Amino acid sequence: MPASAFLLSTTIRFYYESYQYNLMIRVFNAFGKSFFRGNSDLMIFNNFMDTFQVEKATCPHCGAKYNCAYFSSYSRNLITFENGANTCHNISITRVICNSCRRTHAILPDNLIPYGSYALSFILTTLRAYFLGTKTVTDLCDYFQISISTLYGWIHLFNEQKLIWLGVLENATVSPIKFIDDISTQMISLNLFYKTINVSFLEPFKTIQFNSS
């Protein structure tokens, strides 16, 4: 990550929803291969879960390798945009347990955003259409079947995290559309963003103030 991203202010941003423990295993290998290629997010998720090997996972808390086992599962919604329609799928999220530290972790592929229902591709496709400027905000929201407040929330979060990721100088030279396209072609690493910022891209985060002295 560019060093300038950390010089924006004395504010360092971390996501502490899990009380300073990472309660998920993020796997970044499917999204870039499928974005803008017509593969549905449900298909990406199902294909990922069919091939994911729990016993080979690394615990994000203690770092133990090859020592996780199936623990449980829970349901959540995955909202996608397919064939011109806003579609809600109910999916099952696997939770594993680390046999070393006994912490449990949800398994989330990169097309899902933690603590949110909308697929990453849905949000980026909507934002790309917004930044193209060919539709009014009202028409855009009608087309994607979302509220105006939802769209503006995504725009704010996107701009904020883009600025943090690129830094002030580079952010001014990289257009939002190019940034989105670079994510889709994996020129920008969602994995590196997650490891550096400690939050997934377009996942809301809390702000904690640190004294720089």
pLDDT tens digits along 76-126? 999 999 888 899 999 999 999 999 999 999 999 988 999 899 999 999 999
- Answer whether residue 209 is part of any domain: no
Q: pTM (2 decimals)?
A: 0.81
> What is the mean pLDDT of the segment spanning 190-208?
78
Tell whether 74 is covered by a domain.
Answer: yes
Question: How many domains does one find in the chain?
Answer: 1
- Tokens for 205? 């985060």
Is the pLDDT confidence value at 21 over 50?
A: no
pLDDT of residue 162: 94
Which two structure tokens, joined as six digits, stand for 44?
């990406």
- Residue 140, domain member (yes or no): yes
Percent of the chain with pLDDT over 90: 54
Name the residue among 162, 127, 147, 23 with its Cα closest to residue 86. Answer: 147
> Rounded to an integer, what distance in angstroms lies between the CA atom of residue 59 and that of residue 105?
8
The reply to whether 206 falls in a domain is no
Phi, psi dihedrals of residue 64, rounded to the nearest 5°: -65, 135
Judged on CB neighbours under 10 Å (0-12, 13-18, 19+), 209 is exposed
d(CA 102, CA 209): 31
At residue 105, what is the residue type? Answer: H
Residue 67 lies inside a defined structural domain of this protein: yes
**173 confidence band (pLDDT: 50, 70, 90):** very high
Residue 43 lies in a domain: yes
Its domain, for residue 170, covers 14-200
Q: Is residue 9 part of a domain?
A: no
